[in-house]
Amino acid sequence: MKQGRVLVIAGSDSGGGAGIQADIKAITMTGGFAMTAVTAITAQNTMGVFDVHPIPLQTIIKQIECVTFDIGVDVVKTGMLGSVEVVEAVAETLTSACPNIPYIIDPVMIAKGGHPLLEKAAIKAVRDLLVPKAFLLTPNTPEAEALTEIRIENLDGQRRAAEALLKRGANAVLIKGGHLDGDVITDLLATVDGEEFFHSKRIESTSTHGTGCTLASAIASYLAQGDELAVAVTKAREYVLKAIETAKNYGKGHGPLNHGWVLGA
């Protein structure tokens, strides 16, 4: 019986808007229990990423092993991994430490301000080692383009990229449409059984830092509590949209979401 336990493997964000900090907030606010394996410490704020300190591989592995051995995991969610070596270590450790559970793979590549969070050489490693393990892959359109080398300019491009990623072994793909032009954002959920479209009116806001991390973690949280995939995506999108709508405009750049809106914060 699922108990809402989510292990997040990702980097930290000192500004609190994305990364591990956003993951913990989103999972907690949606009723799950968050555990973490930190892959890197970043010095960042709403204006950008100013420094990245990678965590040693053995420490990343040991974090994963410790929580899975003692507490147990219902769903794993990955975020910023950074390098080929980390991708390889995470893929191997997941297979040995927590097999046969859903992996939500958020292929984080570039920070909101443009700083690279994944080495170019590691894109192939993500495609070869993590995409085939994904219960759900959650790329935005630039990430999907990098993984498939398919140009995405509209819904047709989203569909073609999703098909390519399913052929690479992903169980399901959610290609987010926020980077495409238009007043309505369409996210495409594709599985071997078909497609489902999620539409929402674009919210004009600069407080969108950490949107991808938050969405993937909220989906993971709902899945870890027993929801079916389409239901988890629907509920997670509603949570994120409200978090953008109620954001408090912190900082001078791309501000964080209001993860605590559930509490009336």
Q: Please give the positions annotated as active site.
A: 176, 208, 210-213
For residues 44 and 16, is the Cβ–Cβ distance under 8 A? no
**3-class SS at 44?**
strand
Distances from the Cα of 107 to the Cαs of 4, 31, 33, 47, 144, in angstroms?
22, 24, 22, 22, 9
Radius of gyration of the chain (CA): 17
The alpha-helical segments, DSSP class H, found in the chain are: 19-29, 57-70, 84-97, 120-125, 141-148, 155-167, 211-224, 229-245
